Structure 1
Amino acid sequence: MNRKPTRVSYLALAISTALSSMAVYAEDGAKKAELERIEVTARKTVENLQEVPVAVTSIGESALMENGISVMTEVQQFSPNTTLQASRGTNSTITAFIRGVGQQDPLWGYEPGVGIYVDDVYIARPQGAVLDLLDVQQIEVLRGPQGTLYGKNTIGGAIKYVTKEMSGDATFNIDGTVGSYNQRDLKITGQLPISDKVYLGYGYANLTRDGFGEFLQMSQAGQDKENYNKDVSAMRLTLELHPTDQLFFRLAWDKTDDKSNAKGGYRLLPSLLTNAPIPDSVFDSYTSMPTWNKVELEGYSLTSRWDMDDQTSFKYTVAKRDSYSPTNIDFDNTPLKIFDVPAIYDDNQLTHELQVTHRGENYKVVSGLYYYDAESCGQFQAILEVLGQSLGAPGLTREVSGCSNSTSKAFYAQGNVDLNEQWSLTLGARYTRDSKEATVNNGLVFATVYPESNWIPGYVRPEGELVPNVLDDNQDWSRFTPRVGVEYQYSDDIMFFASYSQGFKSGTYNPRASTAEPAANPEIVDSFELGMKSEWNKTLRANLTLFALDHKDRQYISVLPGATSADLNQRLGNIGKSSGKGAELELTYIANESLSFDAAIGYIDSSFDEVLDTDQTTGLTFDKSEHFSISNTPDVTFNIGANYKIYSEFGDFVLNANYYYRGDYVLFEEDSLLTQDGYGLLNFNVNWYSQDGNWRVGLHAKNLTDEEYMIGGYQFVTPDPTAPNDTSKYTPGLGGDNTLIGYYGDPRTISLTVGYRF
């Protein structure tokens, strides 16, 4: 369904030619430079990247800034076999997959497969997890199950957002950005020493942009017509106390308010019930919904650290986070109320973690206790007004609401011991006990119903419960997740490692349940890795990982046939297993003091091995794995980039370019009608730094060739078996229309940032 052909071959040729030319220049001239040491916190202690036997990518502050990366989803370009994209109808809900493992559906109660962490605080819900980067030190992408140190819901991996620890010096930073589509961004960060032991840090961002497209027809008068616009404000305050060299305290508060419009999707098929044509631009849409949208996030955390001596350290973190997201999703994307879904997500969580780190002469141990308590509630209305009117009713709404409340308690320990000068052993384990209770209300209302009064002007919601309770249940699960690894230090600069690790995604109830169905059991991923961390002549870093994984007890929603097209019958269960194997190669080459190259290459061969379902008529079990594919997972991803520095009396210039390629991938697991062809993004950046280091100017051009690429969608149609050679003919789905919708990534944009550092 991609409408623009990909121009991979000549773009790759152009990039390779440019890199070769730069390499020839480098050989002639500048003095030799060496690789920088990269420190990561992948194992919850600060370590050299090259000493960590984990597949991890780290992108530091300077790389993020010089590449013009302003939002977490752009990090996917630099990490192999990684998908980080904005989900469908909102700007700030994330779809995260690593090595083919993740969670596509963002409905309350479902658990992610990739964990998102801000300063080691787990972000449980995908709403608001597309974080705008503010005062960040580095982003780390940990690939593969992280079940020992990070726990449940990291079966694909973990994304870590690490903010800066303050230095105690007074600083003030301000960045202003203007760009395409009337982009206007302002970021202010800094720190103020209150005393020699107390520091106050602050950050503020206001990020705005017009839409890439517009709503061409709207049934709600007076609504903002911008589609794919941005209107975000974010604030952060941090108070740090350093009473002694051994004690550290940090109290942090952050708040994000996203008022960007709800995103309208692009109709890939003409509507059967309206005469609105398919828009000319993939960023244009139609809607009968309000276009306003809101995501409110707020969090508090307290971190305490006591370095008892040179060997032992204690760390305690308590954090509370709340999010509230009323949203409007027009599934059919027409001016009629064919299939509209207003919804509310309301989440809060409280976490505690006590961690102890101890270093001996030839060993190191990290252990801890973890507690998590969360409430995830929501409601949505599937408004099928046109269908209801055809049945003689004033309207028709399928209303679903409920809560999924959970607690999780865990103990973990992981140690690394040096057996001799070359061999070391890693052993880790985590015991987790989860408890979950869920309620679901589900039923039909023969009227048009919204979540709250005044959702649209003048609407008054009826009092009381409109639909019956169909599920009220609770269940406990426990899991022991191990990690075993062995490392061989071949030389000072080359390490080989092999490991086995296991992770699990929590069991869950179906938030769309129409009957008192049982909960789905946890998903399990077993992963095997064989890797090499190496540096050659202090100028080439080559890190290679080979992996294989088995993904068992996969949770999946099966759509059940109903008596009418108004039925939204779905069943959640553990239906099958999948497997994957692949390779990841990350390269950095320092040609000289001025020129460097980077590459990140990922390959994965993944598929469903078994998908079991039950015939509703005969009661027999059958395998339907031939209808399933791993979603949001290209077989191949790669990124190649070059960075060139020019030192002059007018200041320092940093020029960089990268080409990022993603192979074909499907958007849905079962019989996906939405497939994105392989595409490539070409980006170019020019940065200037004044000689005194106070001023910076950055010019950032992204997606220079203006590629169109799909990152999400909805399908509520099936191909018409009577017309197998005419893909324009489909059997209508829920609501009675051809609902096949695509959402797209950003078009070509150019921006200019001016920054001042004091």
Structure 2
Amino acid sequence: MKAMLKTALLAGAACAAIPAIASAQTASQGQGVSAVEELVVTARRREESLKDVPVAVTAVTSERLEQQGARDITTLQQFTPNLTLQVARGSNSTLISFIRGVGQQDPLWGFEPGVGLYVDDVYVARPQAAVLDVYDIERIEVLRGPQGTLYGRNTIGGAVKYVTAKIGDQTEVKVKGTYGSYNEFDAVASVKGKLTDTLRMGLTYGHFGHDGYGKNLNTGAEHYNKDVDAMRATLEWSPTEKLFFRLAGDMVQDDSAPRHGHREVPALNILSQPIAGGAPPSNVYDTYAGAGDKNHVESKGLSLTGEWDLSDTLKLKSITAYRNGKTKTIIDFDELPQPLLDIPGYYADHQFTQELQLLYTGEKLQGVAGVYYLNATAAGAFDTVVGQLNLTIATAGYVDTESYSAFADFSYDVTDALKVSFGGRYTKDDKEGHVYRQNFTGIRSPLFGNAAAVPGLVRSNFTNSRSFSKFTPRVSVSYKFDPDLTGYVSYSQGFKSGGFDMRADEILTPSSKNGYAPETVESYEGGLKGYFFDRRLSLNSALFYAKYKDQQVTVQTPVGASIASQVLNIGKSHMYGVELEGTASLTSNLTAGATLGYIKAEFDEYKAYNPATKLVEDFANSRVFQNTPEWTGSAYFTYGVDLADGRLAFTPSVSYRDKFSMFETPSILDQKAYWLVDASLVWTAPGDRYRVSLKGTNLTDERYRVGGYNFPQSAAVFYGNSVSAFYGPPRTVLVSVEAKF
């Protein structure tokens, strides 16, 4: 009841915002109120005003992120409708992302994401090391809904574009230091500028770290700490007015301790008796894990972008990129010193991509056409250690992917007010997967250092290949009611590639060696974007309805001492909802903003194996969408005054997330609705030469789950009643000082 009341209050506040803002705007006429900033985005691979793009886009500038106290991209979920961006369970830098109910529930190698992540137009194929820290950026764009035409496969839910800051004509040196709760110390330094009349260089380094929010009560190690180093280097060359080249490299290294999580229920032995010392720790950030405290994640990338102005209306663009990464980690599922259910793991991946674009800007016709190629490998290994049986199940494998696509998207001005956009993309994926899975007697297998482990039953050892292809169209019609107000309707498709389950068990699920098919989304959308009251209010709105087919779900069913895992195309579903975003300049000193998202996502068919009846049944009535709260919303205001020859800005904000499920099957891990309250106080000197800020996040010290693992005693008695959860950050207060030279 309490959560329903909060939701109703939030929805009512959003519905009341427009007349309240209108009243404030009318009262402020003649008081020197400035217009709301007009944002330029590249959602359609070309620069356009946000109000002219027939796509639901949230664009967040670096200034806004500074005001919100954002430290990494997961902060975006607090003020972006129908978005989930979370640190994956068991990790500090692996990303779980969902938009409008579509995403990637499983970060295991070979399982494709449903939301595409791009850094300066370079696709990042794997979620490891993808929790990007916010530094040295220009803006972040979140595109909601299928983006299959311009961004291709695996953007079936949408895309997140991380756009780094450009290099200016003047040499600039910037340093920033942050200190705060849990001994947080962040340091960022950058230097950018001209080397010659045609050559520019930029170099940025950042360290981000804090002590653990909790402690490993067994080993004394930090738990939920952070130890990340990141670097970017950029070289820009303009040999002529018509040619531009950009060589960019980046590196992220994460040596934070592994997140083992928090045991939510008492541990039980194989006889369902309590295990001594198996009670849940009182602090949700504490653990008793004994599997190990070492974790290492690294990701590196290099890209070369070239642009050639062939004429006043035609530009050729090339984007060549290579990325690779590796992860060594361990997750203690049972959260105890003894190895009831431990999972040491290793991931490795690399990708090469090449994209060619031809951009045309004519008087009535604008658009882009191109081709894209990806060659990628995702590989890894892990042990499933079941200590009560002195058993280890070793799993290893890889997926090789070659992807080819051709695309085009154009807009035509039928009249000065009416515009029609049309496009499509053809994609072909060739995949080869290899899966090895074997029983060993002993604690850990030879893959993870136990050469004395006795080999047993080989559960899987196969190599298979499949090809997938799909044409994904998009069409939209937009109409300018006046220069400041645009309405649009659109239809689009997207698909997420099929593949092979890296946990496939030929003995328990023989059909799993055949892999699984792609999933598709068809989306219908309408929206209204623009400015009101002399451009002092911006309002973006969208209504959508989507049909989701052949949905890929990882189903893990404990069977005896093993786990029957299979990625299934479980059937179909539908989603519909609404999204609102508004920003207003109320007075010369006061701006405000609010967002509201609503989504109803329901399964129409969910066919899976029922271990109790040994039949394939339809579970649509008892399954729910994971990581998809019905209501999301936020509100903030910024009040600024002149102070000490500078500008002082105070920004309190609040965000709301409705209750949601961690998995398709409801469990005790499901998160109740919650609010987060943040605030910042930022003083900026003239010319932005100096900036001092005080920021507080989660000021009410809310405890909320962001992930979990569910292996209760009722499913299998060998796993120690291992039900664990992972929690979002507690209350933190930070002080930052920044200087430019």
CA distance change for structure 1 residues 460 and 635 in 2, over 3 Å: closer, same or farther?
same
CA RMSD of aligned residues (A): 2.6
CA distance change for structure 1 residues 447 and 31 in 2, over 3 Å: closer, same or farther?
same
| Offset from partner CA, 1:214-266 (integer Å, 9 cap, x none) | 01124xxxxx6111000001111111101111111011111111000001211
Partner of 2:287: 285
Alpha-carbon shift at residue 104 of structure 1 (Å): 0.9
Alpha-carbon shift at residue 275 of structure 1 (Å): 1.8
Alignment of 1:127-146 (within 5 A): 127-146=128-147
For 1:114, the aligned partner's letter is V
Name which of 542, 550, 553 aligns with 2:550: 553
Q: 2: distance between equivalents of 1:361 and 1:655? A: 44
Does the CA contact (< 8 Å) of 2:86 and 2:95 recur in 1? yes
Partner of 2:442: 447
Partner of 2:562: 567
Alpha-carbon shift at residue 469 of structure 1 (Å): 4.8
Alpha-carbon shift at residue 362 of structure 1 (Å): 0.4
Residues 99-108 or 613-622, more deviating: 613-622
Partner of 1:685: 680
Q: 1: distance between equivalents of 2:483 and 2:141? A: 24
| Offset from partner CA, 1:651-695 (integer Å, 9 cap, x none) | 111111110000010000124332111000011100001235311
Partner of 1:263: 259
Task: Describe the SS at the equivalent of 1:142.
Answer: strand
CA distance change for structure 1 residues 368 and 211 in 2, over 3 Å: closer, same or farther?
same
Does the CA contact (< 8 Å) of 1:397 and 1:449 recur in 2? yes
Q: 2: distance between equivalents of 1:139 and 1:247? A: 26
For this pair of structures, how many residues does the alignment match?
A: 725
* TM-score under structure 1 length normalisation: 0.91
Alignment of 1:10-159 (within 5 A): 27=27, 30-159=31-160
Partner of 1:324: 326
Does the CA contact (< 8 Å) of 1:441 and 1:470 recur in 2? yes
Alignment of 1:448-463 (within 5 A): 448-449=443-444
CA distance change for structure 1 residues 478 and 732 in 2, over 3 Å: closer, same or farther?
closer
Identity level (%): 39
Task: Describe the SS at the equivalent of 1:665.
Answer: coil
CA distance change for structure 1 residues 72 and 561 in 2, over 3 Å: closer, same or farther?
closer
Q: 2: distance between equivalents of 1:296 and 1:439? A: 24
Residues 513-522 or 79-88, more deviating: 513-522
Q: 2: distance between equivalents of 1:312 and 1:465? A: 63
Does the CA contact (< 8 Å) of 1:12 and 1:659 recur in 2? no
CA distance change for structure 1 residues 607 and 451 in 2, over 3 Å: closer, same or farther?
farther
Partner of 2:652: 657
CA distance change for structure 1 residues 52 and 338 in 2, over 3 Å: closer, same or farther?
same
Partner of 2:721: 738
Name which of 524, 530, 535 aligns with 2:531: 535
Residues 195-204 or 25-34, more deviating: 25-34
Alpha-carbon shift at residue 136 of structure 1 (Å): 0.8
Partner of 2:226: 230
Does the CA contact (< 8 Å) of 1:485 and 1:497 recur in 2? yes
For 1:295, the aligned partner's letter is V
Alpha-carbon shift at residue 614 of structure 1 (Å): 4.8
1:634 aligns with 2:616: no
Q: 2: distance between equivalents of 1:491 and 1:26? A: 20
Q: 1: distance between equivalents of 2:645 and 2:163? A: 33
Partner of 1:723: none
Q: 2: distance between equivalents of 1:483 and 1:26? A: 40
CA distance change for structure 1 residues 453 and 629 in 2, over 3 Å: closer, same or farther?
closer
Name which of 698, 706, 712 aligns with 1:711: 706
Does the CA contact (< 8 Å) of 1:604 and 1:635 recur in 2? yes
Partner of 1:724: none
Task: Describe the SS at the equivalent of 1:217.
Answer: coil
Q: 2: distance between equivalents of 1:617 and 1:271? A: 25
Alpha-carbon shift at residue 619 of structure 1 (Å): 7.6
1:367 aligns with 2:357: no
Does the CA contact (< 8 Å) of 2:93 and 2:128 recur in 1? yes
Residues 145-154 or 258-267, more deviating: 258-267
Q: 1: distance between equivalents of 2:178 and 2:51? A: 36
Partner of 2:203: 202
| Offset from partner CA, 1:567-607 (integer Å, 9 cap, x none) | 12222221111111000011111112211111110000111
Partner of 1:402: 397
Alpha-carbon shift at residue 197 of structure 1 (Å): 0.8
Q: 1: distance between equivalents of 2:127 and 2:316? A: 30
Does the CA contact (< 8 Å) of 2:445 and 2:453 recur in 1? no
Alignment of 1:712-731 (within 5 A): 712-717=707-712, 730-731=713-714
For 1:199, the aligned partner's letter is R
Alpha-carbon shift at residue 24 of structure 1 (Å): 7.1
Partner of 1:471: 462
Task: Describe the SS at the equivalent of 1:291.
Answer: coil
CA distance change for structure 1 residues 235 and 524 in 2, over 3 Å: closer, same or farther?
same
Does the CA contact (< 8 Å) of 1:208 and 1:232 recur in 2? yes
| Offset from partner CA, 1:389-444 (integer Å, 9 cap, x none) | xxxxxx21011100011010000000100111221111010000000000000111
Q: 2: distance between equivalents of 1:25 and 1:531? A: 24
For 1:432, the aligned partner's letter is T
Q: 2: distance between equivalents of 1:559 and 1:678? A: 27
* TM-score under structure 2 length normalisation: 0.94
Task: Describe the SS at the equivalent of 1:65.
Answer: helix
CA distance change for structure 1 residues 11 and 239 in 2, over 3 Å: closer, same or farther?
same
Does the CA contact (< 8 Å) of 1:649 and 1:691 recur in 2? no
Task: Describe the SS at the equivalent of 1:75.
Answer: helix
Alpha-carbon shift at residue 6 of structure 1 (Å): 11
| Offset from partner CA, 1:455-484 (integer Å, 9 cap, x none) | xxxx65779999565221001011000001
Does the CA contact (< 8 Å) of 1:57 and 1:78 recur in 2? no
Alignment of 1:587-598 (within 5 A): 587-598=582-593
| Offset from partner CA, 1:117-139 (integer Å, 9 cap, x none) | 00111111111110112211100
Does the CA contact (< 8 Å) of 1:26 and 1:591 recur in 2? no
Does the CA contact (< 8 Å) of 1:470 and 1:513 recur in 2? no
Does the CA contact (< 8 Å) of 1:293 and 1:326 recur in 2? yes
Partner of 1:438: 433
Q: 2: distance between equivalents of 1:230 and 1:6? A: 35
Alignment of 1:325-364 (within 5 A): 325-364=327-366
Task: Describe the SS at the equivalent of 1:44.
Answer: coil
Does the CA contact (< 8 Å) of 2:650 and 2:680 recur in 1? yes
Q: 2: distance between equivalents of 1:262 and 1:181? A: 17
Q: 2: distance between equivalents of 1:451 and 1:77? A: 44
1:505 aligns with 2:529: no
For 1:749, the aligned partner's letter is T
Q: 2: distance between equivalents of 1:431 and 1:692? A: 48
Q: Which runs of 5+ in 1 are unaligned?
A: 219-223, 389-394, 718-729
Task: Describe the SS at the equivalent of 2:64.
Answer: helix
CA distance change for structure 1 residues 679 and 116 in 2, over 3 Å: closer, same or farther?
same
